[in-house]
Structure 1
């Protein structure tokens, strides 16, 4: 935990300084700030309110997913599921790639189901990752063939290596989707491998999901993806960045793909996301200030505010229940 704070803090400071240097050396810095101010005065606050409302839908879809995932173990109301999601965000704030969400969520379940629910939560993350990769592939294809710089030899051209990356991701994505709809394969591995056999009872739940339920989870994941993508684009527009919505969506999907595969913790995530966002969205606009402000705003709305709410909810959770 201490190492996370040290490494994460150092990474954040380095990224923050890099972003500060990059922005302050922009020739159009003053114009960008003025553009942001005028945009906020005209329409920005409406957009910010809409982003806040969509935050409820964002985590609401995730809460519904959690309901479906733990249904084979126990019935959970939507309100309880929503509380579990927010508590998971709170616990995950200082864990790599927010894996601590699992620990926060299972606190709302019966003791005998807590460890079993970890496997269920992983299935939910599996569905969200598939959606992220699919949209990311579409965005990456557009970036490579329309926006990536070209030059040099054929072997070093971005489109050559980009196509190799695309092919590799397509193969990985196809195998992931196949495994997602054949979760029994994972269960059979636990049953057959000797040192994993004793953990079979904790992953047994993944064999209970029907294909229709798995498709429903993918639908919920896709709806959630659309919501938090819309949040970012709305905030960019509110802050005065001028862009075509479909281009913004495609490049934003590449940003989410990169963030899904880059290991980081919440304290450093803002800096990493800022650098990646400026790299891709900077192809559409020179207003780096708006891009960085929107990135920070979404980080606050979708992570920090729910984490604060989750912290309050955790005060009412009994960590050790009397038998």
Structure 2
């Protein structure tokens, strides 16, 4: 009897300990995200917070009409992302729009502090039972690759036109060296892919190819089309902000620079919280060719970051804190 009581007490304590550590992890994610957001706004060497607020007031960005439309575009952007995730997961398990929303926003909060949003993969997978997790990782990868493909397609067109519009001095030797490195890496990747014994996240390359082939065409097409639509929404949001700041650029000229900016910013690895710094540096350089004020561009990048990442991640922190691992299982 004493032994049974002792075992029961041990199980209860170990359960309580697990619960305590799980709560600690959830709080760490949320507190860490809040701190980094605050730190980015308060200690931005390129754009002081007081200067940011003064520029917004000067350009009447705080008008109800502007804020409402910016919120609408950000909401629509995330609505499309959630819809895309719901469609992708339907390949293995049907989930409601609300569950897709919860998974998308909480994974954004969890990924805020990780390089290139790596944390998003694990955060989404934890919402599913063990049998689904590897496939959820792959579906998330497919969704991100589709979005990246859209960025590369439009970015390549934009960058080609940008080099035609603006006089950029290109170092032929450096470009050739870069192309040789890229071709070498691609060659190695092709070699690795042909090795059937090679695995990615526990999947052999052969199984990975079979998984992608098994994905229904309607899901692939839907995911790609939603990715295109999302790209146009946040690109237009950037253009709308240029108009608010009275930047004299027509839509086509602005899009040439915006698409080039998204392409170049995407290929530079960065911690997601520093994404705003990377995009800011690239944007300032590219828009300098169109003689757009540096402060205006840094303000626009910061506003885009606040509306499209900070606000959703604050909402996502609610779902992170309320996540129950036992209930989820």
| Unaligned runs of at least 5 residues, structure 2 | 1-27
Q: How far is the alpha carbon of 1:148 from its aligned partner?
A: 2.9
Paired with 1:262 and 1:82, the residues of 2 have a C-alpha distance of 28
Please say if residues 135 and 253 of structure 1, whose CA atoms lie closer than 8 Å, have aligned partners that are also in contact.
yes
Residues 146 and 51 of structure 1, relative CA distance in 2, 3 Å threshold: same
Q: Which whole-Å deviations, capped at 9, do the CAs of 1:18-61 have from their partners, x for residues lacking one? A: x359xxxxxxx9xxx77x645417x9542332111111111111
Please say if residues 47 and 295 of structure 2, whose CA atoms lie closer than 8 Å, have aligned partners that are also in contact.
no
Q: Which residue of 2 aligns with 1:131?
A: 150
Q: Which residue of 2 aligns with 1:225?
A: 231
Residues 296 and 161 of structure 1, relative CA distance in 2, 3 Å threshold: farther
2:80 matches 1:61: yes
| Counterpart selection for 1:193 from 180, 186, 197 | 197
Larger radius of gyration: 2
Please say if residues 255 and 276 of structure 1, whose CA atoms lie closer than 8 Å, have aligned partners that are also in contact.
yes
Matches within 5 A, 1:78-97: 78-97=97-116
Matches within 5 A, 1:2-81: 16-17=44-45, 19=46, 37=57, 39-40=59-60, 45-81=64-100
Q: How far is the alpha carbon of 1:288 from its aligned partner?
A: 1.8
Please say if residues 107 and 316 of structure 2, whose CA atoms lie closer than 8 Å, have aligned partners that are also in contact.
yes
Paired with 1:162 and 1:259, the residues of 2 have a C-alpha distance of 19
Matches within 5 A, 1:209-288: 209-288=215-294
Q: Which whole-Å deviations, capped at 9, do the CAs of 1:281-319 have from their partners, x for residues lacking one? A: 222233222211111000111111111111101222222
| Counterpart selection for 1:120 from 127, 130, 139 | 139
Q: Which whole-Å deviations, capped at 9, do the CAs of 1:42-81 have from their partners, x for residues lacking one? A: x954233211111111111111211222112110111211
Paired with 2:139 and 2:157, the residues of 1 have a C-alpha distance of 28
Please say if residues 111 and 119 of structure 2, whose CA atoms lie closer than 8 Å, have aligned partners that are also in contact.
yes
Q: Which residue of 1 aligns with 2:170?
A: 158
Q: Which residue of 2 aligns with 1:26?
A: none
Please give the root-mean-square deviation of Cα atoms over the aligned residues, in Å. Answer: 3.9
Q: Which whole-Å deviations, capped at 9, do the CAs of 1:106-147 have from their partners, x for residues lacking one? A: 233233212320011101111111100000001100111111
Paired with 1:122 and 1:298, the residues of 2 have a C-alpha distance of 24
Q: Provide the secondary structure at the position in 1 that maps to 2:60.
A: helix
Q: Provide the secondary structure at the position in 2 that maps to 1:108.
A: coil
Q: Provide the secondary structure at the position in 2 that maps to 1:158.
A: coil
Task: State TM-score, norm by structure 1.
Answer: 0.74
Aligned positions, number: 286
2:308 matches 1:308: no
| Unaligned runs of at least 5 residues, structure 1 | 22-28, 150-156, 180-184
